[in-house]
Amino acid sequence: MTYSYIPPAFELYEFDDEPLGTRRYVCRGFNGWNGPVNSPAQEVSLAWSSPDSAVLVSTTGQADDARWARLSAAHLALGGTTLPIPARPGSTGEVQEEIQRIAESTELWSPLHPIMTGGTSAAVAVLSGFLLACTQAGSGHVLVAATGVRIDQLRVRKVRDWGAYDIDATQSHPLSDLSR
């Protein structure tokens, strides 16, 4: 049996770097997905980076509540080491405690302008060395975790060009393609 990534049924979003102006050495990449192997992805994360900034944008088809979106955005930032967060908690337990604190502390979150064309207002949390945002996209959510990006530069858009990525996440791929 061949195991494979199956693309989601919803649109995927990426970081819109146009508000930043021209930057050198900008990279885009497929960061990962959540969901069962051989079933459509339930969440897909795309990465963007430059020498002084990094952004993860995760699109999900799940229509859960605001607390879930905050929890998922915090996990996007702290659940791995993709983002260079200077004050990252040390142990796994401390990371989990910080993710829970961010999700449950409504006072950390503020309303934000829509971060996508035609979108609803977003929620944003500015933390020590990084920021998080979440907004609805159709019946799902778009979650953002970023370092080196100001709130006024925070925008997402539907993916424009899969050629800028290492894979096209709208196509099925064997798992070996995703582990390069």
- Match 């900034």 to its residue by tokens: 53
* Other CB atoms within 10 Å distance of the CB of residue 178: 15
pLDDT tens readout for residues 32-80: 898 888 899 999 999 999 988 999 999 998 877 888 999 999 999 998 8
Tell me the CA distances in angstroms from 112 to 57, 86, 116, 119, 165, one per residue in order.
Answer: 16, 24, 11, 11, 28
Q: What pLDDT does 97 receive?
A: 95
CA 1, distance to chain mean position in Å, is: 31
What is the identity of the amino acid at 23? R
Specify the pTM: 0.93
Q: 57: closest CA among 2, 116, 119?
A: 116
Give the Cα separation of 51 and 74 in Å (integer): 23
pLDDT digit string, tens, across residues 106-165: 999 999 999 998 888 999 999 999 999 999 988 889 999 999 999 999 999 999 999 999
pLDDT band (50, 70, 90) for residue 8: very high
Q: How many CB atoms lie within 10 A of CB 121?
A: 12
| Bridging pattern class, strands 140-147 and 4-5 | unpaired
